């Protein structure tokens, strides 16, 4: 069974994170989930049904819980994703601040050379955001802005969301078929 650490931070894009949680649970992934304090505010606004979805997850943590397993390199897992990733959390990861559980777990993933996927959301991007993305990439993170492709002719918002969730799962090495793949054309 694959073991994944996931963090939800306070950027827009909660439908991506909830779809990702649902799909990971459906695939029986052992999910360890941290939700930042700011993320709860955005969840209330964007996806008021969030409690039902997050209630599916057995292992959940608050950002203050620096004693949680993923704060240590001895906790083995198959990868971490921060979805969505706020510019504040991107900065903290890029600069190695380990002052909350999300930033510490990301720092640990990088030092242990484990997969770390960041799904940053802001627009437009200023120079600091761009420099932080480059720094995080140089440190080993995968930077995956949620930019869906339109070549598969999405019918609705859920198609676009699933497309991004599928690409994130691909990056985490989780087999999935939740979105149609390009087969050439
Ligand atoms: C409704 C709402 C939407 C937000 N959207 C974004 C966003 O898309 N990108 C971003 O970087 N910050 C966004 N923010 C600001 C972050 O929540 C804020 O910077 C926060 O400190 C991030 O903390 P965290 O990274 O610990 O979750 C938003 C805040 C609110 C209330």
Q: Is the minimum distance from the CB of 9 to ligand 1 under 6 angstroms?
A: yes
Closest Cα to atom 9 of ligand 1: 11
Query: Could you count the other beta carbons within 10 Å of the beta carbon of residue 20?
Result: 28
Q: Which residues pair with residue 82 across a beta bridge?
A: 7, 118
Give the whole-angstrom CA distance, residue 71 versus residue 65. 9
pLDDT for 24 equals: 97
Domains of the chain by range and CATH? 3-171 (3.40.50.1950)
Number of residues written out for the chain: 185
Closest CA to 64 of 40, 29, 90, 30: 40
Sorted by sequence, the CB contacts under 8 Å of residue 132 that are 6+ apart come out as 87, 90, 91, 93, 94, 95
CA–CA gap between residue 29 and residue 137 (Å, rounded): 26
Helix residue ranges, H only, the chain: 14-26, 37-46, 50-54, 87-94, 101-111, 127-138, 157-171
* Ligand 1 atom index nearest CA of 36: 27
Ligand 1 atom with the smallest distance to the CA of 39 is 27
Ligand 1 site-directed mutation target among 16, 39, 86, most atoms within 8 Å of CB? 86
pLDDT value at residue 182: 84
**pTM recorded for the entire structure:** 0.98
Mean per-residue pLDDT, 68-80: 98
Query: Mind listing the pLDDT tens digit for each residue in 106-160?
Result: 999 999 999 999 999 999 999 999 999 999 999 999 999 999 999 889 999 999 9
Looking at the predicted structure, is the pLDDT value of residue 179 above 90? no
């Amino acid at each position: 069974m694959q073991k994944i650490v996931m963090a939800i931070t306070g950027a827009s894009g909660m439908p991506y994170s909830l779809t990702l949680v649902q799909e990971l649970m459906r695939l029986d992934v052992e999910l360890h989930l941290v939700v930042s304090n700011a993320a709860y505010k955005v969840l209330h606004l964007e996806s008021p049904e969030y409690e039902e979805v997050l209630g599916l997850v057995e292992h959940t943590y608050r950002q203050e819980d620096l004693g949680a397993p993923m704060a240590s390199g001895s906790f083995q897992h198959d990868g971490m994703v921060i979805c969505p990733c706020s510019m504040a959390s991107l900065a903290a990861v890029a600069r190695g601040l380990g002052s909350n559980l999300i930033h510490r777990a990301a720092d640990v993933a990088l030092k242990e050379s484990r997969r770390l996927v960041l799904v940053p959301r802001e627009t437009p991007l200023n120079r600091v955001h761009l420099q932080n993305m480059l720094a995080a990439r140089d440190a080993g993170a995968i930077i995956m802005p949620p930019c869906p492709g339109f070549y598969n002719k999405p019918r609705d918002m859920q198609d676009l969301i699933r497309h991004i969730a599928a690409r994130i799962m691909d990056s985490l090495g989780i087999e999935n078929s939740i979105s149609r793949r390009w087969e050439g054309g």
